[in-house]
Amino acid sequence: GAGVSQSPSNKVTEKGKDVELRCDPISGHTALYWYRQSLGQGLEFLIYFQGNSAPDKSGLPSDRFSAERTGGSVSTLTIQRTQQEDSAVYLCASSPSGPRNTFGSGTRLTVV
C-alpha cells in the first residue's frame, strides 16, 4: 500500500484479556518496528524485525508481550493478560533499509 496501515485504530479491552494489534508495512520494506507511546514513558522501542534475521526483542517490557511477522510482511503484536499500564498508542513503522522509517497512525489501546 501507499503507507503503513495499522488496525484497529482504537481498541478498548477489559483488564486480563488478550489483544492483537496488526501492522501492514509498505510493500518491499524489509524492516518493521513497533513502538509504544504512553503518557508516562514517552515513545519507547519495543521490537524490530529485519528480513529473515531473529527479531530484536530488547524493548519488550514483559513476557506478556510478543510479536511475529509472517512472510516478511504483516506483523502482529500480541499482549496477553492486559493490564491498565498497557494503555498507550502502539505505533508501527517500516523501512526499506536503515533509519528511513515511515510510521503508521497507530492503535490506541485502552485497558479498562
Partner 1 sequence: AQSVTQLDSQVPVFEEAPVELRCNYSSSVSVYLFWYVQYPNQGLQLLLKYLSGSTLVKGINGFEAEFNKSQTSFHLRKPSVHISDTAEYFCAVTVSSNTGKLIFGQGTTLQVKP
Binding site for partner 1 (CB under 8 A): 4, 31, 33, 35, 42-45, 48, 50, 56, 91, 93, 95, 97-101, 103-106
Pick the closer one to partner 1 by CB: 1 or 99: 99
Amino acid letter for position 24: D
CA distance 91 to 48: 12
Pick the closer one to partner 1 by CB: 35 or 65: 35
Pick the closer one to partner 1 by CB: 3 or 16: 3
- Surface-to-core class of residue 56, CB atoms within 10 Å of its CB (0-12 exposed, 13-18 middle, 19+ buried): middle
Shortest distance in whole angstroms from residue 34 CB to partner 1: 11
Pick from 32, 35, 53: which is nearest to 44 by CA?
35
Shortest distance in whole angstroms from residue 81 CB to partner 1: 27
Shortest distance in whole angstroms from residue 82 CB to partner 1: 22
DSSP 54: P
